[in-house]
């Protein structure tokens, strides 16, 4: 039901072009946001040609505009008694199909544009999960690295003192992301509960003893590998014996490695912002346990892996290089699981040259626009982030359901639901790509599949 029309309807290409020009003019110096919008718009040409009602309702102009942007001061005392000041954000992007939902990122690179790109992606990703969740994202330029537990706690308490005014179990439900794991969610939840005097499912990724869901820590990595297994299945292939490249060594990477081992693959790399580990013998369960202890408990650097396992090679990050040596190692499958734009056009060319068969994105927007085009042109199996890494937020949705029903599902039950959701997301993307005349192009499948549900809800709900 379209409730409004706009004069001067243009052909879809011109309409998209004019909205893109306005996005760049209205949001200057936000290249990641422009990139995320341009990628989605590229797929939507196919939809607008069939559905002029979206243009009449000026859906594109509306969907790129956050419903609300919050930006606030976060003052805190460090261990020496000095005052520190960081900037906090929450982007409430779209609530057409459910409360805002999306993670909090604590990293020095965080700025408004990065969080807007993440919130925009989240809208389509959450729609693909089949669960009723809108899209949001937030965080701070606070760097938890090198901070004591007490400093992290004081920062989280100050951050939540402002954020609590704007969130709630039926309004906005944040979760973790880079730099925000179980420790930070605990401190944030504690302060919310203290200020609001209520014990509710306001955050996901909570501890198991106080409202968390089994499998939530594992969900993004497991989900990404389940999605990739479906991609291989579409070519009658499997993970058995496949050599796999994984970047990062945080939450997503750790459980990607674990599920790859479960399915018979051989992961050979991990990394952090200081460098890459290449272990030609493969990262087995004992080595994975070492990584988890190193990263989650000791909060150390990945180079320690090569000190411990002598056959492994450590390659330090060289910012002068325009490519990452990790993506130049010959393998069958690649799982970028660290951060945005970590695969440049040169990296993509290296992967394709070395015969990569599959790329499944655990991180958000890890491939540049040109890298994405190269994967599509090379016709390899390419699973874009908003589909491949949706298992994390899907399991957050399952945590919300358990909190509302005051129930706890078993590990097997949550894992089974996660697995079925990832199969359904792959099927939706695969079939949508075919329906719109681009078979095998899961980028189009994910963008269009995610868009349609949100756009139709926006039409139904009128001009809000």
Helix 112-128 and helix 411-435, axial crossing angle in degrees, nearest 10? 90
- CB closest to ligand NDP, residue no: 250
Q: Active-site residue 137, yes or no?
A: yes
Cβ 448 to ligand NDP shortest distance, Å = 21
Give the separation between CA 318 and CA 323, rounded to whole angstroms: 9
Cβ 46 to ligand NDP shortest distance, Å = 26
Nearer to ligand NDP among residue 327 and residue 436 (C-beta): 327
Containing 244, the helix (H) or strand (E) segment is strand 243-246
Q: What's phi and psi for 343, nearest 5 deg?
A: -110, 110
- Active-site option among 101, 125, 137, 266: 137
Cβ 291 to ligand NDP shortest distance, Å = 10
Nearer to ligand NDP among residue 19 and residue 363 (C-beta): 363
Q: Under a CB-based contact definition with an 8 Å cutoff, are residues 122 and 194 in contact?
A: no
Give the separation between CA 148 and CA 156, rounded to whole angstroms: 12
Alpha carbon separation from 292 to 250, 301, 455 (Å, rounded): 8, 11, 41
Cβ 157 to ligand NDP shortest distance, Å = 20
Nearer to ligand NDP among residue 161 and residue 296 (C-beta): 296
Nearer to ligand NDP among residue 46 and residue 244 (C-beta): 244
Cβ 327 to ligand NDP shortest distance, Å = 13
Instruction: Name residue 343's beta-bridge partners.
Output: 367
Cα–Cα nearest to 178, from 142, 214, 203, 207? 142
Residues that bind ligand NDP (CB under 6 A): 176-179, 220, 248-252, 272-274, 337-339, 362-364, 389, 392
Nearer to ligand NDP among residue 48 and residue 153 (C-beta): 153
Give the separation between CA 287 and CA 308, rounded to whole angstroms: 10
* DSSP string for residues in 276-291: EEE-TT---HHHHHHH
Per-residue burial over 201-222, b = 16 or more CB atoms within 10 Å of its CB, e = otherwise: bbbbbbeeeebbbbbbbbbbbb
Nearer to ligand NDP among residue 12 and residue 113 (C-beta): 113
Cα–Cα nearest to 161, from 202, 192, 206? 192
Cβ 236 to ligand NDP shortest distance, Å = 29
Per-residue burial over 320-329, b = 16 or more CB atoms within 10 Å of its CB, e = otherwise: eeebbbbbbb
Q: Which residues are catalytic?
A: 137
């Amino acid at each position: 039901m379209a409730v409004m029309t706009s004069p001067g309807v243009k052909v879809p290409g011109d309409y998209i072009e004019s909205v893109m020009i306005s996005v760049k003019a209205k949001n200057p110096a936000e290249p990641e946001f422009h990139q995320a919008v341009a990628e989605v718009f590229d797929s939507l040409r196919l939809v607008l040609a069939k559905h002029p009602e979206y243009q009449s309702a000026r859906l594109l102009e509306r969907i790129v505009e956050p419903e609300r942007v919050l930006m606030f001061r976060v003052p805190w005392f460090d261990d020496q008694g000095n005052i520190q000041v960081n900037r906090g954000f929450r982007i409430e992007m779209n609530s057409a199909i459910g409360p805002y939902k999306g993670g909090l990122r604590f990293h020095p690179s965080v700025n408004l544009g990065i969080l807007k790109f993440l919130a925009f992606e989240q809208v389509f990703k959450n729609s693909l999960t089949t669960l009723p969740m809108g899209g949001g994202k937030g965080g701070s330029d606070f760097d938890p690295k090198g901070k004591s537990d007490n400093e992290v706690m004081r920062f989280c308490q100050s951050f939540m003192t402002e954020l609590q005014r704007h969130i709630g179990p039926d309004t906005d439900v944040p979760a973790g992301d880079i730099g925000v794991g179980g420790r930070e969610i605990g401190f944030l939840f504690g302060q919310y509960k203290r200020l609001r005097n209520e014990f509710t499912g306001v955050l996901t990724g909570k501890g198991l003893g106080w409202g968390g869901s089994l499998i939530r820590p594992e969900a993004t990595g497991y989900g990404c590998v389940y999605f990739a297994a479906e991609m291989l299945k579409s070519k009658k292939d499997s993970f058995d014996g496949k050599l796999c490249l994984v970047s990062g060594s945080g939450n997503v990477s750790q459980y990607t490695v674990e599920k790859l081992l479960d399915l018979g693959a051989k992961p050979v790399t991990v990394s952090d912002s200081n460098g890459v580990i290449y272990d030609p013998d493969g990262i087995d369960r004992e080595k994975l346990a070492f990584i988890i202890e190193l990263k989650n408990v000791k909060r150390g650097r990945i180079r320690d892996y090569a000190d411990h396992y002598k056959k492994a090679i450590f390659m330090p990050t060289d910012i002068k290089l325009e490519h990452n040596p990790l993506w130049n190692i010959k393998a069958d499958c690649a799982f970028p699981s660290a951060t945005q734009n970590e695969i440049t056009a040169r990296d993509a060319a290296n992967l394709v040259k070395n015969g990569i068969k599959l790329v499944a994105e655990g991180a958000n927007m890890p491939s540049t626009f040109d890298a994405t085009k190269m994967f599509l042109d090379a016709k390899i199996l390419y699973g874009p982030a908003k589909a491949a890494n949706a298992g994390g937020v899907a399991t957050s949705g399952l945590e919300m359901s358990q909190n509302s029903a005051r129930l706890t599902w078993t590990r097997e039950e949550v894992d089974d639901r996660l697995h079925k959701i990832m199969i359904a997301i792959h099927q939706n993307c695969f079939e949508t790509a075919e329906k719109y005349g681009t078979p095998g192009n899961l980028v189009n499948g994910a963008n269009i599949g995610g868009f349609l549900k949100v756009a139709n809800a926006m039409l139904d709900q009128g001009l809000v």
